[in-house]
Amino acid sequence: MSIRFRRSLHTLLPALALLVSYSEAAASTINQNASWTIDRAGTSTKYRSVAYGDSIYAGFNGSVTSAAKYAAPTVNAEYLSAQWGTDIESVRRTKSGAIAEDVYNNKIVAERSYMQASNTRVVTFEMCGNDGLQARASFKSQTGTCNYSGLTAAENSCKKYVTAAMDYINANAYAGVKLKVISNLHYPGYAVDNVQSTCKDAATGATVKMQDKFLPALARMNFMMCDVARQKGFQCADNFAQYMGADYDSNGDGRIDAEGLRYVSGESEASYVNRLTSALRSTIRDANTHFVSSSSSYDYIQSDDTHPTYNGSTFSSGLFGSTTGSGAPRYTTFSGGKSPIWNQYGHERIGWAVSTYNPATP
């Protein structure tokens, strides 16, 4: 009995250590994989949608042992199931806390077999959020003269691995895949960053507003994702626009704010960055208060001020195993291509944004 106990303890201790380290350090990572099939009545035909990424696609909810069942990839699977009239297996191969290089090497490349299955029809991925978060955290801790090299490095790494990921998916995904989508980045903590830095700019000798440094960097990363997608046969779900812009016209320019902030295919980086950082800056709102009308809003961000909110329950995904299961869809039809809660939760919004590119047939 004592030998068995010691062996169990030996197995458990590394997991407990990781639990502690994950809560203490943003750079900690944990695999959070899952496979959930939307089991539609009246059909036995099943297609697969594969999602690679970090904690966003994982459905991270603050736990290293569970995740949101209806994270964005599974939300999109419901839309696919309704549109195609088939079962859809939503496969998540994700690693919470992973930077872009890690997602590329240890998820997209190392776990390419999931997108190579002959029933795969959709491949989607997201990355770079942790590159940005780590660079931001490092910048916020600076004193003395500001050093912007960390932000530049995050941008460069993002471009390198987003481009590599698209090339790799194009070369390795099953030939019958109908849709490839990248999801770009929302800006977590936008309101919190409306403060001055503790370091001083070398040229002016003054502190800088953190929003004014982080927003242009994020805009350049998001432009790059959508523009490289345009060049390589991917679609781009513009989560920045979906999260940070209201669903009504707040500035009277004749456009719904979220539409005004969206990437426009073929536009220049200068045009896109100017729209977000200057021309339409006043329409950007923290996603903790996403306005769906002038008088009604929903919270898209969990209490950690980073990860999207979600509807429904959680399932096992992390240290103690991952879920493979199935269940009936929450919604079997979608009026106007939108679920009744499409704009009420962060994950529902991403899933809907991806679904707008779904092909009519598998």
Q: In this predicted structure, what is the pLDDT of residue 256?
A: 98
Q: In this predicted structure, what is the pLDDT of residue 3?
A: 37
Q: In this predicted structure, what is the pLDDT of residue 116?
A: 98
Domain count, the chain: 1
Domain CATH for 194: 3.40.50.1110
| Residue 150: other Cβ atoms inside 10 A | 17
Q: Pick the closest to residue 191 from 276, 124, 272, 285 (CA basis).
A: 285
- Alpha-carbon gap, residue 234 to 231, rounded angstroms: 8
Q: Is residue 6 part of a domain?
A: no
Q: Is residue 1 part of a domain?
A: no
Q: Is residue 263 part of a domain?
A: yes
Q: In this predicted structure, what is the pLDDT of residue 134?
A: 97
pTM: 0.93
Range of the domain at 118: 31-356
Kindly give the residue spans of alpha helices, DSSP state H, lying in 205-314. Answer: 210-232, 239-244, 257-261, 269-274
Q: Is residue 4 part of a domain?
A: no
Angle, to 10 degrees, between the axis of helix 129-140 and the axis of helix 210-232? Answer: 160
Q: Is residue 17 part of a domain?
A: no
Q: In this predicted structure, what is the pLDDT of residue 7?
A: 37
Residue 69 in 3-state DSSP? Answer: coil
- Alpha-carbon gap, residue 18 to 13, rounded angstroms: 9
Q: Is residue 82 part of a domain?
A: yes
- Alpha-carbon gap, residue 309 to 296, rounded angstroms: 17
Q: Which two tokens stand for residue 195?
A: 């403060």
Q: Is residue 20 part of a domain?
A: no
Q: In this predicted structure, what is the pLDDT of residue 349?
A: 98
Per-residue DSSP letter, 287: G
**How high is the mean pLDDT in each 10-residue block of the chain (362 residues)?**
36 38 57 98 98 98 97 98 98 98 98 98 98 97 98 98 99 98 98 98 98 98 98 98 98 98 97 98 98 98 98 96 97 96 98 98 97
Q: Pick the closest to residue 123 from 131, 132, 112 (CA basis).
A: 112
Q: Pick the closest to residue 276 from 219, 191, 217 (CA basis).
A: 219
Q: Is residue 220 part of a domain?
A: yes
